[in-house]
Amino acid sequence: MKKLFSPALIAAAALSALATSAYAENPMVGGAPMFADKNIVENAVNSKDHTTLVAAVKAAGLVETLQGPGPFTVFAPTNAAFDALPAGTVETLLKPENKDQLTRILTCHVVGAEAFANDINKMIADDEGEHPVKTVGGCTFTAKHDGDKITITDENGSVATVTIADVDQSNGVIHVIDKVLLPKM
């Protein structure tokens, strides 16, 4: 009987299936696949829901940092979250003279550790319902539950909900949120 498949072909097919299934576990964001072997910036630039965030990261000079080894947890506001800010806010923040303020706001969306939803849920439970989240920008936000969703309350009392959790990256994890988190100014 003639062999239809060589062991090498079977092994290659198995590896391909494993690679595909690993990618399939990551949620789509902004209509784009997110790949666990790409860094935060490499994935974010493909999301049509995060063009404002990407422009802000570039304007703040944070691209190289977010391409670094991390690990990082990024709470990534959508375009709609930026659009909900008062008229003219984004345009003003993107001006070169406001780079420091923009950098502070953006780095208040970044934690210097990798925390998936299960990790955050455990921290909230361990802290009896509210967990302080210290960011690389010097902000302290509060993680809580709203039903089965994770929420993040900023220093001004505004509440963002995690709408897409656990977007695995080579240098951390992204959680998509529906509001821009703002530090006390």
Print the domain residue range for 146.
28-177
d(CA 10, CA 5): 7
| Residue 24, pLDDT score | 45
Domain membership of residue 87 (yes or no) is: yes
| Residue 25, pLDDT score | 80
Count of domains for the chain? 1
Domain membership of residue 70 (yes or no) is: yes
| Residue 26, pLDDT score | 86
| Residue 19, pLDDT score | 42
| Residue 6, pLDDT score | 40
Which parts of the chain have pLDDT scores under 70?
1-24
pTM of structure: 0.84
Domain membership of residue 122 (yes or no) is: yes
Domain membership of residue 74 (yes or no) is: yes
- Are 102 and 94 a contacting pair, CB within 8 Å? yes
